[in-house]
Structure 1
Amino acid sequence: MRLAFAVSMVLILSLGTPVNAGDSGPRDVHPSLRSDLIAFYDFDHPMPDDPALERDLGRSSTEIELINGGTASRVVDPAYPGARRALQTRQVGAELSNDDWKAGIYSPTGVRTLRAFNAVGGTTVLGWFKRSMDGPALNTVTPAPDDRYNAIGLAGLLTGDSEGHAVRALLELINVEGTLRLVALGRRIDGGASQTFAASADWQTLLPKDQWVHLAATFDFNAGTMALYRNGVPVEGFYTVAGDPWGVSGPGPHVTSATDPRGIKIGGSFPQNTVERNPCDCRMDALMFLDRSLSAREIASQYRFMKSRG
């Protein structure tokens, strides 16, 4: 009886262990960061009952949809040693439609599993990106045939009141005073002003065409600061909004609005697939969303950790 009980307890403990514990995804995450990893997508883990959904290897279990592309969005193109498949996002047609390949999740009442980003003091968004476009795509929601969007969406968290576009923390390429730049864009308060930290270097130098690059953006909502990193190294840049758009000059601590994000957007806006905006003809892999602002040393450690995988 004691042996049977012991065996039963082992089975119970084994079944109770999170699926992430022995999975390939978390093994790609530096051990010091795993407890803060809320969502992680390596695009090697389709959900068994619906392969157009991607399993979250972080601790939130927030599945995302591979919108419009479905299983065809997963392509064999390793971004780093040990990687297998990546996500392909792209604009499909240059006419009014809702067929762009992108990924994400959306709920008008907030995504409960993303509650770690509710009233949070910091956030980090990072991952591998390979761009294949030469600039923003043709705008499919305006009548002018040669009009183009002013941005290329990479990956970000939506605010708690987002219509599918407004963000709490975002990595993207956007027009800054007439020049396309790699940026981190953040908003502390729902419906409030955003701040943008823009890279000084040319965006095509930071993201060479058809080459994998590791990017990270950190958001310290308490201090009111952001930072960008490329291949583990800080990127020089500047803030585009003067003053105190996040409202952090008074007594703290300062956190985001006490609302659950309405979702995640990847490769373009509106993950509920009602409108097209800022599509990215890109490939992406190992997208991570953490509930604190990582230090420069931690970003570098994560990049080196992934490069050493095999």
Structure 2
Amino acid sequence: MAKVRRAVVATAALLVAGLAAGAAPTPAQADRDGRQDVHPALRSHLVAFYDFDHPVEGDVALERDQGRSGTEIELVNGGAAQRVPDRAYKGSGNALQTRQVNPDVTGNDDWKAGTWSASGVRTLRAFSGAKSATVMGWFKSDMDGPALNSTTPNPTDRFNAIGLAGVLTGDSEGHNVRALLELIDVNGTLRLVALGRRLDGGNSQTFAASQDWQTLLPRGEWVHLAATYDFSSGTMALYRNGKPLDGFYTRNDDPWGVSGPGPHVTTASDPRGIKIGGSFPQNTLERNPCNCRMDSLMFLDSVVSPGDVEKQYRYQAR
């Protein structure tokens, strides 16, 4: 994994702003087996899984992968302070805190997580030449809309999206994705979406939830979200708390190029990484920060069926 700049020691004021009043980080539960939180139906397809209870020995700003790939991710800028004591479900331990730090300054200090390598992340090869993927996890928002844009001189300018979690393309500069859960402006309205891209350098397609995003992701409430990507058929789906969401595609053409002869798979290139809570996990630019908490983030190399999405939700929420 390419190492990126970290600021592991956060000021007390910043930590208090990112946590609930009076709360303080608790030691990660390194003795917990994260896979106990994964329904058996999903385990064989679980490429990467992060429960934020497993710091890497000797570097607590890194989180161990509980999936099969062994892809470590970095807790960028906040380090160990980004593990906070907040249970998304009964059996969980710590959660990940991501947040915008200073919207008035052009810099690289936002709290986010992920990994990036210009040569591709070999451990994520399951998403190279892939027919399908699923991204899912627990999310708790603390936002009323996209954050102020820290990269422009206009003090009232805002980003057009809130990044949740996704897998990057094989040519990504740290922003472009193969499979992403996020909130983004769709024709002037912020919506929860699944955004996918089959080919490196190609067009993306977006499947947007019809329902109001603040109803789907109420401020201060833990919600389980899932997005599936079938690259062979050009279809996607969204789920909330185990139930499928009504939605619509933002393009009615063929952005993934699946109308001709197949097989239709993603570009045969290793993804350049994973991004969580915003773009550019290599910490070279700020974009679409999420003032959020996240837990039990899963990246799978299959389209999880509606029944199994519900099983996973109930398995953790029981």
Q: Same fold (TM over 0.5)?
A: yes
Equivalent-residue separation in structure 1 for 2:201 and 2:32 (angstroms): 38
In the TM superposition, residue 23 of structure 1 has moved relative to its aligned partner by 5.1
Map 1:81-92 → 2, pairs under 5 A: 81-92=90-101
- 2:215 & 2:307 partners in 1: Cα distance? 23
Task: Give 3-state SS (helix, strand or coil) of 1:241's partner.
Answer: coil
The answer to whether residue 56 in structure 2 is matched with residue 47 in structure 1 is yes
Map 1:141-220 to 2 at 5 A.
141-220=151-230
1:65 paired with 2:53, answer no
Matched residue, 2:86: 77
- Cα contact 2:32–2:53 (8 A) shared by 1: no
Residue 248 of structure 2 corresponds to which residue in structure 1?
Answer: 238
Q: Which residue of 2 aligns with 1:285?
A: 295
Structure 1 segments (4+ residues) deviating >2 Å: none
What's the CA shift string for 1:192-246, capped at 9, x where partnerless? 0000000000000000000000000000000110000000000000000111100
Instruction: Report how many residues are paired.
Output: 287
Q: What CA deviation, in whole Å up to 9, does each residue of 1:145-172 have, x standing for no partner?
A: 1000000000000000000000000000
Match of 1:135 among 145, 163, 170: 145
TM-score normalised by the chain length of structure 1: 0.92
In the alignment, which of 98, 108, 126 is matched to residue 98 of structure 1?
A: 108
Instruction: Tell me the C-alpha RMSD between the 2 structures.
Output: 0.8
Structure 2 unaligned spans of 5+? 1-30
Does residue 110 of structure 1 match 2:120? yes
One-letter code aligned to 1:150: N
Q: Compute the displacement of 1:49 (Å).
A: 1.3
The CA distance in 1 between the partners of 2:85 and 2:179, in whole Å, is 28
* Structure 2: distance between partners of 1:148 and 1:33: 38
2:47: which partner in 1?
A: 38
The offset of 1:65, in angstroms, is: 0.1
Where does the alignment leave 5 or more consecutive residues of structure 1 unmatched?
Answer: 1-21
> SS of the counterpart of 2:220?
coil
The Cα shift of 1:252 comes to: 1.6
State how far apart, in whole Å, the 1-side matches of 2:35 and 2:264 are.
Answer: 30
Identity of aligned residues (%): 71
Partners of 1:304 and 1:84 in 2: how far apart? 17
Aligned-partner residue type, residue 52 of structure 1: A
Q: Which of 129, 143, 166 in structure 2 is aligned with 1:119?
A: 129
Q: SS at the partner of 1:173? A: strand
Say which one has the larger Rg. 1
| Residues 52, 295 of structure 2: 8 Å contact kept | yes
Bigger mean CA offset, 77-86 vs 23-32: 23-32
* Structure 1 residue 56 corresponds to structure 2 residue 56: no
How far apart, in 1, do the equivalents of 2:312 and 2:260 lie? Answer: 34
Letter in 2 for 1:54: E
Range 293-302 or range 162-171, more displaced: 293-302
Matches of 2:32 and 2:133, distance apart in 1: 24
Post-superposition CA distance 1:61-83 (Å, at most 9, x none)? 00000000100000000000110
Cα pair 2:134 2:299 within 8 Å, conserved: yes
- TM-score normalised to the size of structure 2? 0.89
